[in-house]
Amino acid sequence: MPDIFGRDSEFSKQELPDVLRGILSLSHQEVEDWCQENGEKRFRADQIRRWLFENRAQSFDEMLDLPVAFRQALRSSFSLFTSQVVTHQIASDLTEKLLLKMVGGDTVECVLMREPDRRTVCISTQVGCAMGCVFCASGMLGLKRNLEREEILEQILRLDRLLDDDERITNVVVMGIGEPLQNLPILLPVLDDVTDANGLGLSPRRITLSTVGLPAKIRELAAVGKPYNLAVSLHAATDQLRNELVPVNDKIGIEAILEATDEYFATSGRRVTFEYVLLGGLNDQPQHAHQLAGLLRSRNAHVNLIPMNRVETLEFDEPSQSRTAEFVEILETSGVAATVRKRKGADIDAACGQLRLKDAVGEQTSSGGASTCE
């Protein structure tokens, strides 16, 4: 049982039991095939899907419109969820964060954010991250592996099950741990499930992928032809500064990223967002704002300024409020649309990567940190 902070500390210490393969590891067609192989009609797969995506079933036993013997066959062949909730935190603004332990013991984080007209989930795509951005907790332990289809879907569906009956997920942001564009072959079919009428039925316009800026992958995403929102983590307007903050920039360069985002806009019609973490004293001066405006003025772009979330053990500071306000002012008077990201979950470890990091180093105390998700 979780303790009053929602932590299932007993579980986190014990080895995972053997787990059957997750039903969510199968595509819809594979479930149809399985139904047929097990003596049932293919339409049974639609019923199963409705229970998983719409009716928020927690077990196969709840799927009452399936024959009893068939339910039994499902139960002995599959797990509904393969992941386990290690930690469940709820912030005072009702942001909720889960630390999930996957089969094999890897952990990932996902977050549910509530706003008056939105229920947004922020999901992870990799165990760790290879990008090495110097201010980010997610990459501090490096990249272990890509997440599998069911490991990404389970984040979404577990968060969905935290909602009240009359609440629905309205937005998905792929801004958790990892670089989503490095896991596109797995992520894209997952997003198909999110947008599918008999999946979660969300418009692609309500899905945002955040990337460090990998030009070839941005083109690959554009070629998919779906109007997903693209957010690029720019964080600096000169290669010199960006190489320091986002080391992979060394091999890419801002110019190549902007060429790719221009193409993304031309193909998808979606205005690209540029994320810019404000690091006190490092990239938050007026000259930086002017440089950024110079890059983006002629583009149909939007800047999302993210005040640095404190990460224990890292020495970067938050920007002052006056610096942040001045930065916005310079961008806007230069004709570049800018917003400052609202903090969510400030009283839990909602900044992506922090909870997993603490789990990995065996520390369980909760301190500052806020979600970096939209």
Contact residues for 107 (Cβ-Cβ < 8 A; gap 6+):
86, 99, 100, 101, 127, 356, 359, 360
Buried b (16+ CB within 10 A) or exposed e, 52-78: bbeeebeebeebeebeeebbebbeeeb
* Among positions 103, 311, 350, 355, the unique one binding ligand SAH when judged by CB under 6 A: 311
Interface segment toward ligand SAH; rule CB under 6 A; list 150-158, 191-199, 252-260, 306-314: 306-314
Paired tokens of 85: 């909730």
Q: Considering the rule CB under 6 A, would residue 207 count as an interface residue with ligand SAH?
A: no
Q: Considering the rule CB under 6 A, would residue 374 count as an interface residue with ligand SAH?
A: no
Q: Considering the rule CB under 6 A, would residue 133 count as an interface residue with ligand SAH?
A: yes
Do residues 209 and 231 touch, judged by C-beta distance below 8 A?
A: yes
* C-alpha count within 13 angstroms, C-beta hemisphere, residue 359: 27
Q: Considering the rule CB under 6 A, would residue 351 count as an interface residue with ligand SAH?
A: yes
Residues β-bridged to residue 339:
304
Q: Which of 19, 314 has the CB closer to ligand SAH? A: 314
Interface segment toward ligand SAH; rule CB under 6 A; list 2-10, 51-59, 132-140, 195-203: 132-140
Q: Considering the rule CB under 6 A, would residue 308 count as an interface residue with ligand SAH?
A: yes
Q: Considering the rule CB under 6 A, would residue 273 count as an interface residue with ligand SAH?
A: no
Q: Which of 308, 326, 320, 282 is nearest to 370 (CA)?
A: 308
Q: Which of 14, 313 has the CB closer to ligand SAH? A: 313
Residues from 80 through 119 that contact ligand SAH (CB under 6 A): none
Q: How far is the CB of 166 from ligand SAH (least distance, A)?
A: 30
Q: Considering the rule CB under 6 A, would residue 284 count as an interface residue with ligand SAH?
A: no
Question: Assign residue 125 a region: left if phi > 0, alpha if psi is -120 to 50, beta otherwise?
Answer: alpha
Instruction: Please state at what angle helix 28-37 crosses helix 44-53, rounded to 10 degrees.
Output: 130
* Among positions 26, 187, 202, 212, the unique one binding ligand SAH when judged by CB under 6 A: 212
Helix (H, G, I), strand (E, B) or coil at 280: coil
Q: Considering the rule CB under 6 A, would residue 211 count as an interface residue with ligand SAH?
A: yes
Do residues 194 and 200 touch, judged by C-beta distance below 8 A?
A: yes
Q: Which of 283, 309 has the CB closer to ligand SAH? A: 309
Interacting residues with ligand SAH (CB under 6 A): 131, 133, 135-136, 175, 179, 210-212, 233, 275, 277, 306, 308-309, 311, 351-352, 372
